[in-house]
Amino acid sequence: MNCCLRISFQFHLFILLLLLFSTPASAHFKLNLNVRIFHVEHLSDGLNVYMRLPMPYLVAHLLGEIDENGFPSPAPYTSNRLEEDKLVHYVEVQQLKQSTDGLALLALQGLDLTVDGKNVDANAEGFRIYKNGTQPNFATLDDAQKSFESEPLFDSFEQGVYVGDTTVDVLLRYSSESAVYKYALSSNLNPGLPDQDETANLILDYSPSGVQVFRARGLLQEPVVVTRSVFDAVVTFIKEGVKHILEGLDHVLFVICLVLGAMHLKPLLWRVTGFTIGHSITLSIGFFGFVPTAAWFVPAVEMGIALSIIYVAIVAVLPDFKSGWQQEKNEWTVVSVTGLIGLLHGLGFSFVLQNILQVTSPNIWQSLVAFNVGVELGQLLIVMAAVLVFYLISLLGKSATKINRIIVAGLCAAIASYWVIERGSGVLANI
């Protein structure tokens, strides 16, 4: 019994800590995108790497010494300004015009590519720079190559552009004595940006045997091993699907409440199935763009997800407060509503996938299915963990089970209520 009590206490403490520590981070450098794309072209004597990334990744860690006013000297190819007593960073266009490969060299220094565990000769071939919203497509190798067919344009930077509103394309050449079959890609850049651990890295490998797509999250400090194996490529998207749902607090709380309200295995399976069908449909629909594009839509979906947590939390405790509640009679209603709620969560998943893939990317269905499989596996892990914890608590007796259900549902509903207010303000701000 003491073990069950300890588990119950730790579980409730865990839910409470999620509430306390779900606050956003901040930093000096503004970052409006956190996606890096690598197109790797195989040649008979090496590799061409076309890379697109936000400029802060290349310069944020290169701020200089602090001056007498308490401000650091500018990073390369940037200038500092004070706006409303805050230090902001602008692109220094004159420096870029004088340097034909400056940003490309920074990218080369920050990228580690090894073949058979050994470094290979590398050169920075050039860069292109764009104000966010003006950059050309970069979904395929052809798109990446076209980015370097014309001369660099700096007109949009003459009036001043934030570093955080700037995207850089880089071309790097890695030479080898023969064709490369397997290589490892990693990065030593640690710019200290907000949410940099959530950086989405998409690696598209173009070899004579076909195109493989690899996915990794974070700063790429751990090498991604790229081979011509379809299985290896699929596994990277499955892993990201698992990570996404496990690290998405709103999805976790929803599944916990889903388990909490199912008194037996059969209704639990039906609820999870309804949720799965719903979000599988809209993950694809949302990804391919068959949804509104208005600014209010994304925060509206996120607010709807928060409301769905409140709904399943209420359903979970209804049998404890409503004596006339007939579980079996109302189960199909709950399953149907859960399926509709799954449609909302699927849109949320699709927004994440849109950040790293474009509809014209190679092997799009392979990547889409693998990501969805990962989401399902992550959901299953949450269900299994919650079932185990709730079972152990049930050993304490019916009274303990009821108290646990009320506490967990209440905490989840409290967190979701805060999100409804926060996300609702985002909807109103964009109408």
pLDDT digits (tens, 9 = 90+) for 14-62: 554 454 444 333 334 555 568 899 999 999 899 999 999 999 999 999 9
CA gap 176, 120 in Å, rounded = 7
CA gap 114, 119 in Å, rounded = 5
Residues 6+ apart with CB under 8 A from 310: 413, 416, 417, 420
CA gap 126, 50 in Å, rounded = 10
CA gap 127, 171 in Å, rounded = 6
Lowest mean pLDDT among 59-63, 213-217, 261-265: 261-265
Percent of the chain exceeding pLDDT 90 equals: 29
- Token representation of residue 194: 């907000």
pLDDT at 417: 94
- pLDDT of 303-318, one tens digit each? 999 999 999 899 888 8
Residue 215's Cβ-side half-sphere holds a number of Cα atoms within 13 Å equal to 28
pLDDT at 326: 52
Q: SS3 of 27, please?
A: coil
pLDDT at 327: 53
> What does the CA dihedral 62, 65, 67, 70 come to, rounded to 10 degrees?
70
Residues 6+ apart with CB under 8 A from 2: none
Confidence of residue 127 (pLDDT cuts 50, 70, 90): very high
Closest residue by Cα to residue 276 from 367, 374, 364: 374
By CB neighbour count within 10 A (0-12 exposed, 13-18 middle, 19+ buried), where does 97 fall? exposed
- pLDDT of 145-167, one tens digit each? 998 988 777 777 877 889 989 99
Q: SS3 of 39, please?
A: strand
CA gap 431, 426 in Å, rounded = 9
Judge contact between 146 and 136, C-beta under 8 A: yes
Q: pTM of this prediction?
A: 0.67
Confidence of residue 335 (pLDDT cuts 50, 70, 90): confident
To which H or E segment does residue 83 belong? strand 78-83
| Strand order across the beta sheet in which 224-226 lies | 118-119, 111-115, 183-187, 224-226
35 phi, psi to nearest 5 deg: -125, 135
User: DSSP letters along 261-326, please?
Assistant: H--SHHHHHHHHHHHHHHHHHHHHHHHTT-S--STTHHHHHHHHHHHHHHHHHHHHHHHHH-TT--
Task: Give me the chain's average pLDDT, please.
Answer: 83
Measure Cα distances from 213 to 159, 207, 353 in Å. Answer: 38, 11, 13
